[in-house]
Amino acid sequence: QKEVEQDPGPLSVPEGAIVSLNCTYSNSAFQYFMWYRQYSRKGPELLMYTYSSGNKEDGRFTAQVDKSSKYISLFIRDSQPSDSATYLCAMSGRAQKLVFGQGTRLTINP
Amino acid sequence: NAGVTQTPKFQVLKTGQSMTLQCAQDMNHNSMYWYRQDPGMGLRLIYYSASEGTTDKGEVPNGYNVSRLNKREFSLRLESAAPSQTSVYFCASRIGYTEAFFGQGTRLTVV
């Protein structure tokens, strides 16, 4: 069983829609939760970083962590065609091991 | 302001050949990572090094070896390449529990 599960999609939505991306995990030691965005043929880049449970908002992006359910989410409001990319969740504990989900390929249609 | 540099960017190997992928970072980061990315599989951790002098296995270590040469450099070696190791390889580094920075990747094809 993978430590981090993420629906690979693909997910296609119209411009302006609210997008919800999710990951579940099994390792209770995970405390640091991240969302990365990856454009084609590029390395991933950090989008959001959250420590422990709670919400964090940055512009059109909101990250949520529910440690009791071992479930994290990323919401994108007013989605734009430039948001089309692969989104990967990632998490780690204090042991420095950094584990990623499978990534969700997202397309925003004009 | 190089960040994480991977060499080579592209490589074609014949089955059974060996090669070393090089990674260097200039950000004074403690931790370094090697991942492989296959279609639909996300980033799978091969090996990581939490600090100079230490290395640990990740999710898919079989067929690979690593060396943390110093704080800056972390190399990945394929002793006897197999077609199943055809993939895009990413090196990453970070300090503490914060953002990991990635290199541009190495596209490896084993024929």
Task: Give the nearest partner residue to A100 out of B40, B43, B104, using CB atoms.
Answer: B43
% residues pLDDT > 90 (chain B): 88
Quote the pLDDT of residue B98. Answer: 84
Kindly state whether A108 is in contact with chain B, defined as any CB-CB distance less than 8 angstroms.
no
Kindly state whether A10 is in contact with chain B, defined as any CB-CB distance less than 8 angstroms.
no
Task: Give the nearest partner residue to B97 out of A32, A88, A100, using CB atoms.
Answer: A32
Q: DSSP code of B84?
A: G
Q: Which of residues 25-84 of B touch A (CB under 8 A)?
A: 31, 33, 35, 40-45, 48, 50, 56, 58-59
Distance of CA A13 to the CA centre of its chain: 17
Are the Cβ atoms of B42 and A102 closer than 8 angstroms?
yes
% residues pLDDT > 70 (chain A): 100
Over residues A5-26, the pLDDT tens digits come to: 998 889 999 999 999 999 999 9
Q: How many Å lie between the alpha carbon of A40 and the closest alpha carbon of chain B?
A: 11
Higher model confidence: residue A1 or residue A86? A86
- E-strand spans in chain B? 4-7, 10-13, 19-25, 31-38, 42-49, 56-57, 64-68, 74-78, 87-94, 101-102, 106-110
Quote the pLDDT of residue B36. Answer: 98
Q: What are phi and psi of B56, to 5 degrees?
A: -140, 150
Mean pLDDT, chain A, as a whole number?
A: 94
Kindly state whether B100 is in contact with chain A, defined as any CB-CB distance less than 8 angstroms.
yes
Kindly state whether A44 is in contact with chain B, defined as any CB-CB distance less than 8 angstroms.
yes
Average pLDDT estimate for B28-45: 93
Quote the pLDDT of residue A29. Answer: 92
Q: What are phi and psi of B83, to 5 degrees?
A: -55, -30
Are the Cβ atoms of B100 and A95 closer than 8 angstroms?
no
Return the closest-CA partner of residue B50 out of B92, B19, B89.
B92
Contact (CB, 8 A) for A89 and A33: yes
Over residues A44-78, the pLDDT tens digits come to: 999 999 988 889 999 999 999 999 999 999 999 99
pLDDT band at B1 (very low <50, low <70, confident <90, very high): low
Over residues B68-90, the pLDDT tens digits come to: 989 999 999 999 999 999 999 99
Which residues, other chains included, contact B34 with Cβ-Cβ below 8 Å and sequence gap of 6+?
A: B21, B23, B45, B46, B47, B48, B58, B64, B66, B74, B76, B89, B90, B91
Does the structure show a pLDDT above 70 at A31?
yes
Average pLDDT estimate for A74-85: 97
